[in-house]
Every structure is written in C-alpha cells, then in structure tokens.
A and B are shown apart, each in its own frame.
Chain A
C-alpha cells in the first residue's frame, strides 16, 4: 500500500506540472487583464488536436510540433484579444466570461466538424514504452512532460522577472491605471499576455493529450479543474498556480489509490471548500482591494 501511495504521489507531481502550464496561462491572463478565460480548456484541447493532426498527417514528432503549434496559438491568442476582448469596455469581467465561453463553444464546434466526437489519444514511442523505477513502471511521457513544463515555466519566470517586458507586465498586474500613467502600453501588454497564455495552453494540450484520451467536449471537464486550481492558488498568483496544480493532482491520485477513482475529484473539491472557508482568497492570493 505504501508503495502504491508513493507511486501515486510521483505521478501526481509529474502530471501536476503539466496542469501548472495550463493554469499558469489562465492565472496570468486573469492577473493582467482581470478576465476569466473560460476558453482556456478549449484552447488546451485545440492544442492537443493540432499536435494530433501534425503527427497524423505530416508525421511530425509531438515535441517538434510544439515549435509550430505554440507560435500559431500565440497568434490566435493575439487575434482573440484584439478582436473580441479589447472592445469590451464596461462590465469587462462578466462580458469576457460570456465571450470566452462563446469562443470555447465555437472551438468545440469546429473541432467536432473536423475530427468528429470520438475520443482520440496521442501516440509515440515515449508514450507507449515505459521506464522502470524500482518495482514501478512509468511511461516516458510523464518525465518528458514534466521536463517540458519545467523548461517552459522557467522561461516564463525569466520573462516575467528578468526582462523589461516582464516588469511592464507585472506593473500592469499590480495596478493597471498606474502602469498606464508611467507609460506602459497596457493594451499591448494585455494582447501579448493573452497570446502567451494561449501558447502555454498549446504546450499543456500536447502533454495532456499524451496522457489521457480527449474529445472536443473534454474542455468542460478541463476548465472546471483549471478554475479550481487557480482559486486554490489564489487568483492571479503566479506562485500559487503551479503549487495548487501539484497539490490537486497528488490528492487526486492518492485518493484513487486508497479509495476510488470516482471520488478523486470530489475529495479535491471538498478540500477546496474547506480552504476557502478558512482563507477566502486562496493560498497565495492578494486581498481584494477596494475599487474606486
């Protein structure tokens, strides 16, 4: 039993890193723009399908394919922000939820038209073959996905904390108006942020599609988990999202082992409710300041 729990913890940490990618995109977009991107789940699935199509039609390796899908998804993110999010001036939060939900529906519809509604899964040698650690067999993709997430998150942190663009971005996160006053082009920062968030979704989608089967409607399940992760981590907290992802996935995997996979999600949701009762702003969230 102890062995099983240990394995569950390892798998949880490894797959938690993949969720950290997707959740970081979501929380980054929220932090800068104060909008909740309900389409993040659908964009993850879109990324998974793009990788699937590249591999299926052109025999491009999944990780190599990311060099193509991530820039494309970045541009898609820019486009969405400029055409659909930017025109929303008043009641941004609410209207952006409706708009991004509509985007999710459109993506789901388009994917349904192109790929049908059957479940698919990505395949490659590193997905189908396993590595032995002690008595425990682990698919290579978990390790590769973990490394990919670490690299991308590292790049993201470098961008945020070591570049001039990152300073501007964090300034916009702290106070939009003040950032504008000191000469930061917040609109431009917003568009690029959205693009980065969507590009991260593409990478997360590839890793997600490699470890679990998906269909166009999977985005609803995914976005519910991502939303829960970013509330637990604290909305807009870049530190909170990865930690909450790992916590969630570890709890889920351990619950599946010691109780039943059916209840894995429920235990996590219950934990979330308890945490919110004690700490309404999540683990690392900022206190909501009064808007005037």
Chain B
C-alpha cells in the first residue's frame, strides 16, 4: 500500500515536471502556469483556513500586495527582466506576510461570520488604496514590469515561469504537509473543532492562528508576485481581484478543505476550466453565467469536496468486501482498514465540527 502510494507520487511528480516538454505549445503551457500558480495559492490558503477552520475571503489582499511589491521593487531598483525578478519573488512574499501581521491580528479578534466579513472588508480597503495612493501605485494607470529577455520567446517563454510556479507549489505543499503532521498543526485542528476547548486545554490559540494566517499570506503573496511578472503589468482591479478571493476558497472546497492534496486537485480541475471558458466566451456575459452555474452545481453536488467523498467511498468498499472472508485474511484486512480509517480521521473531524 505504502509502496503503491510512493510510486504513484513519483510518477505524478515526473508527469508534472515533464509536462511543458511533452506539450510545448505556448497556449497549453500558459494554462499550465496559471493552474500550478492557483494550486499553490489554494494550498497556501488551506494552511490557514483549511486547518484552523477560519474562512478567509480576503486573500486577494496578499495576492495584490505580492504583485505590487515585485512591481515596485523592479521599478525602483531598475531591475532588468530575466531571472532576477524570479529571485525577488520570496521577498515579495515576505512583504505580503508583513502586511498580514496587523491585518490578521485585527481580523482574528473576531470569530466565525464576523471574521469572514472583516477579511472581505480588508480586501476592499486595499483595493481602494491601490487606486488612491497614486504616488506609489500610479492609481488606475498601473505599473509595468520589466520584459523578459528576447531569448525567452516562443515555446521557451513559459518554461521559467512554469518551473518557478512549480517550486512555489512544492514549497507550499511541504509546508502544508509539515503543518498537518506537527504538534502545531494539531493545535490548529483543535481550534477548528472547538476553539474554547482548545484554549482551555492549553493551546495558545491567538498566536497559533496568526502564524498560520501569516504563512498562508506569504505563499499567496509569492503567487501574486510571479503572476504579476508573468502577466507583465498590474492594475488595481486585477491585482486586487474579488474573484480571486472566492476562487481560491472554491478550489479548496472542491478538492476537500483541510486535506493536503484537495486544494491542488481543485485547482487542477477548476483553473483549466476557467481558462477555457474565458477563451471561449470572454466577449460577453455568458462567461459569468456559465461559471456561476458551475459553482452552484459543484457546491450542491459535492459539499464535502472530492477527497473526503472518495475517502468515504474507499472505506465503504473496504468494509463491505470484508464480510465472509477467511480468518487470517480478515485480520490482515482489518489492519489495513484501521490504517485507512486513521488516514481519514482528519477529514471526519472536519465534518463533525459543524454538526456538533
């Protein structure tokens, strides 16, 4: 079982790494870059919202801050296009994380609904700032980023962006995996299940939540920075995009919120679909209608997300196959079953916290 899993992961990793070599068509690799970027953003979002249960709907703030940070760095330090802006991406992420400290501190003074609404309000404040702080952001005129060197054209253009995005995704996944399996992550999950009880059991809830918030802002900021460099110019409504706030959450929800692979899976399904719709119907309102209907259908059909649904199904199949087997086999299967159950436990916790 473990061997299968590891082999599967290696094969999947190789497929993802080899993707732009197998499909060098720029139209395809462009979609691939966006998809990997959003997978990284959704994973980052999930580190805070998925594990702590606090739904943040304003992560567009950190996306936009990352975008503006890299654009301003390139502009003020007169950095030429090429690999240097790619190296500045972590710095842009740190800028976003620094902003996340006070924002998170204020927002996390509230809980549940009020928290959600405050994150939305923060988003609109920052979008307004991007419009109004003209001396810094140039208002609605936007900022252009340096053009990549001429050697990066045709089929090669997307390659550096793709692998940079992949690096961010990998970093985010490793962090997410570490959080999930650490004592710190256990504290976050406890907050998700019952915050007051977690507090009374000695979980230092305030700093726990704030640190997760800052970590997730860091990743979303890096995604914003790479996105800005890839697009080449930024404007307030696109750097601070209200749709981004919700789409990241929807991706995590579709895949399975609070799971490691869920947000990635959600992004890999939703982002190519969205890109396709944008290409097909971008000239009229039909794009919004189709996208909205798609949203609703996903949520109504799969409110738990794909990963938890599959896991439940898997457990069902295992347990129904168990009856009427020989003794030794049954024991072996039971062991396997408990292993699967243990793996699924985190998800079950997530389901119980609302109904409790």
Contacts and interface: CB of A to CB of B under 8 A. Distances in A.
Contacts of A91: 303, 354
Contacts of B131: 262
Interface in B119-167: 120-121, 123-125, 128-129, 131-132
Interface in B310-356: 351, 354-356
A91 B350 CA distance: 10
* Chain A interface residue number, banded: 35 or more
Contacts of A228: 121, 124
Interface stretch (B24-32, B215-223, B285-293): B285-293
A102 B125 contact: no
Contacts of B128: 265-266, 269
A95 B242 CA distance: 17
19 contacts: A88-B300, A88-B303, A93-B113, A94-B249, A95-B299, A98-B246, A98-B253, A99-B300, A103-B292, A105-B288, A109-B290, A110-B289, A111-B285, A113-B285, A228-B124, A263-B132, A266-B125, A266-B132, A269-B125
Size bin of chain B's contact surface? 35 or more
Nearest to B195: A290
Contacts of A105: 288-289, 291-292, 295
B307 to A, nearest CB: 15
Interface stretch (B34-42, B73-81, B103-111, B176-184): B103-111
Q: Which 4 A-B pairs have the closest CB atoms?
A: A112-B285, A109-B288, A102-B295, A106-B292
A277 B106 contact: yes
Interface of B: 55, 57, 106, 109-114, 116-118, 120-121, 123-125, 128-129, 131-132, 196, 242, 246, 249-250, 253, 284-293, 295-296, 299-300, 303-304, 351, 354-356
B109 A277 contact: yes
A227 B57 CA distance: 13
B294 to A, nearest CB: 8
Contacts of A84: 296, 300
Nearest to A272: B121
A93 B118 contact: no
A272 B114 CA distance: 12
B114 to A, nearest CB: 6
Interface in A51-82: none
A101 interface: yes
A191 B228 CA distance: 44
Contact of A110 (B110, B116, B285): B285
A123 to B, nearest CB: 24
A227 B120 contact: yes
B132 A113 contact: no
Contacts of B196: 290
Contacts of B112: 93, 288
Given A101-B246, A266-B132, A276 B118 contact: yes
Given A91-B354, A224-B124, A276-B109, A109 B299 contact: no
A146 interface: no
Contact of A269 (B124, B284, B292): B124
Interface string A89-121: 111111101110111111011111100000000
Nearest to A270: B125
B295 A98 contact: yes
A220 interface: yes
B299 A99 contact: yes
B116 A280 contact: no
